[in-house]
């Protein structure tokens, strides 16, 4: 199985319909709701052994993260999350109190964003806990921020810092859940266990009214930037020195590994996007007023050929799409 190939083949079953504004291929689907609003829907699943182990997430973190990864996809559309449904596949060794603790973690995050649990499904499973969350959100008609909106001359930007989640995962896999940790170590671990979905930033970018292409960083910057380039059919060049690498990751793992984690580690759940150069200072300062860091990390150079390069000291190399891939 090859994740991206499989999805491309599955896409041939998706019929066109006037009410489907965005189907397979972006962070979430956009469908007509009424004259004023579009509905935004997404589903992401996390599986024991693949997305978490008992040694990497507390029970409450499993719930928190299962919802957070979906709020992140709604944020990547500029949408507002409203409702969620949860599907569970539960192996025999998991007991009821453990599952309820997972829900407590999910509820912590749901309350923060006013997202309401409206249903789900519960089945037994043979190997490993599986938790799949569907989030339904909304946005004003035709205002979604899509991956295919990048244009020549745009600034490429990223929110927050990158590489922390993969650093945190390294620490958790080597030290376990309950180790005594330094402040820097704690900071990385918390990003891995309880990533902060950028819903406020997504809404703020949408509110700007500017043409903005947007994607969230689940698989890694290298992979997400390729998705923007391919969806928009443009060539993007990033500047290595401008990538906002987590300072804690640099301190603990050194600059080279931290850079690798920022590019390919994934699960930072920050946003990466593009905006016209003239609008960049406005969105950067609006975000700053809300305490959100946005960094310019590159630019969109030409169209007609999707490519991504990394530039350093005047030399450029083609970025490999080495983010996380299932299969």
CB of 10 to ligand TPP, least distance (A): 14
Q: The tokens of 1 are what? A: 């199985």
Query: How many CB atoms sit inside 10 A of residue 42's CB?
Result: 23
Encoded tokens for 62: 């499993």
Q: Are 170 and 193 in contact (CB under 8 A)?
A: no
User: Which residue in the set 27, 184, 219, 267 belongs to the binding site for Mg ion (CB under 5 A)?
Assistant: 27
What is the CB neighbour count within 10 angstroms for residue 41? 18
Of the ranges 214-222, 242-250, 269-277, 316-324, which one interacts with Mg ion (CB under 5 A)?
Answer: 214-222
DSSP letters for 203-266 = HHHHHT-S-EEEEE-SS-HHHHHHHHHHHHTEEEEEEGGGS-B-HHHHHHHHHHHHHHHHHHT-
**Residues whose CB falls within 8 Å of the CB of residue 203, separated by 6 or more in sequence, listed in order:** 75, 78, 79, 80
Q: Which residues contact 183 (CB under 8 A, 6 or more apart)?
A: none
The partner in contact with residue 51, picked from ligand ADP, ligand TPP, Mg ion, none with C-beta cut-offs of 5 to 8 angstroms by kind, is: ligand TPP
Residue pair 62/94 in contact (Cβ under 8 Å)? The answer is no
Cβ proximity to Mg ion, 134 vs 184, nearer residue: 134
Residues 29-88 that bind ligand TPP (CB under 6 A): 44, 50-53, 56, 69
Number of residues interacting with ligand TPP: please give it, by CB under 6 A.
14
5 is in an annotated binding site: no
10 binds ligand ADP (CB under 6 A): yes
Residue 236 touches which member of Mg ion, ligand TPP, ligand ADP, none, C-beta under 5-8 Å by kind: none
State the DSSP H helix or E strand holding residue 130, giving kind and residue range, or none if neither: strand 130-140
Residue 169 found at the interface with ligand TPP (CB under 6 A): yes
Closest CA to 266 of 112, 30, 65: 65
Binds Mg ion (CB under 5 A): choice among 21, 22, 44, 283:
44
* Minimum distance from residue 219 beta carbon to ligand TPP (Å): 5
Spell out, one character per residue from 12 to 51, where the chain touches ligand ADP: x when CB under 6 A holds, - when not.
Answer: ------------xxxx----------------x-------
Tell me which stretch binds Mg ion (CB under 5 A): 40-48, 49-57, 97-105, 275-283.
Answer: 40-48
Our finding on whether 170 is near ligand TPP (CB under 6 A) is no
Interactions with ligand TPP, residue window 242-261 (CB under 6 A)? none
- 8 Å CB contact between 124 and 91: yes
Residue nearer to ligand ADP on the CB measure, 92 or 123: 123
Q: Does 218 bind Mg ion (CB under 5 A)?
A: yes
- Binding segment for Mg ion (CB under 5 A), chosen from 8-16, 23-31, 50-58, 313-321, is 23-31
Closest separation in Å from C-beta 175 to Mg ion: 27
Where does residue 261 fall: left (phi above 0), alpha (psi -120 to 50 degrees), or beta otherwise? Answer: alpha
Nearest residue to ligand ADP on Cβ basis: 27
Does the footprint of Mg ion cover residue 184 (CB under 5 A)?
Answer: no
Q: Rounded to 10 degrees, what is the CA torsion of 183, 186, 191, 192?
A: 150
Determine the Cα–Cα distance for residues 215 and 90; give it in Å rounded to an integer.
31
Going by C-alpha positions, the residue among 202, 274, 284 that lies closest to residue 231 is 274
Binding-site ranges for ligand TPP (CB under 6 A):
44, 50-53, 56, 69, 169, 218-219, 266-267, 324, 326
Binding-site ranges for Mg ion (CB under 5 A):
27, 44, 73, 216, 218
Binding-site ranges for ligand ADP (CB under 6 A):
7, 10, 24-27, 44, 73, 218
């Amino acid at each position: 199985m090859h994740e991206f190939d499989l999805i491309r083949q599955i896409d041939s079953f998706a019929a066109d319909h006037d009410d489907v504004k965005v189907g397979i291929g972006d962070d979430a689907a956009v469908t007509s709701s009424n004259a004023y609003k579009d509905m935004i829907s997404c589903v992401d699943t996390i599986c024991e052994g693949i997305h978490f182990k008992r040694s990497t997430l507390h029970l409450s973190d499993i719930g928190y993260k299962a919802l957070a990864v979906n709020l992140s996809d709604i944020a990547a559309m500029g949408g507002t999350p409203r409702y969620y449904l949860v599907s569970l596949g539960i192996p025999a060794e998991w007991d009821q109190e453990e599952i309820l603790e997972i829900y407590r973690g999910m509820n912590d995050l749901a309350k923060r964003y006013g997202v309401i649990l409206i249903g789900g499904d519960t089945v037994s499973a043979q190997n490993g806990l599986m938790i799949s969350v569907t989030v339904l959100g909304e946005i004003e008609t035709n205002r979604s921020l899509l991956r295919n909106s990048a244009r020549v001359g745009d600034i490429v930007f990223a929110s927050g810092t990158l590489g922390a989640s993969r650093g945190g995962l390294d620490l958790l896999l080597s030290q376990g859940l309950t180790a005594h940790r330094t402040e820097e170590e704690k900071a990385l671990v918390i990003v891995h266990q309880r990533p902060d979905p950028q819903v406020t930033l997504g809404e703020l970018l949408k509110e700007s009214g500017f043409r903005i292409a947007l994607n969230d960083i689940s698989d890694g910057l290298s992979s997400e930037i390729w998705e923007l380039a391919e969806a928009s059919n443009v060539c993007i060049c990033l500047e290595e020195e401008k990538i906002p690498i987590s300072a804690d990751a640099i301190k603990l793992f050194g600059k080279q590994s931290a850079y690798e984690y920022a590019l390919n580690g994934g699960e930072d759940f920050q946003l990466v996007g593009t905006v016209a150069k003239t609008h960049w200072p406005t969105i950067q300062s609006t975000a700053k007023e809300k305490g959100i860091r946005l960094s310019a990390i590159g630019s969109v150079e030409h169209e007609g050929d999707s490519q991504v390069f990394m530039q350093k000291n005047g030399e450029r190399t083609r970025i490999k799409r080495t983010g996380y891939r299932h299969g």
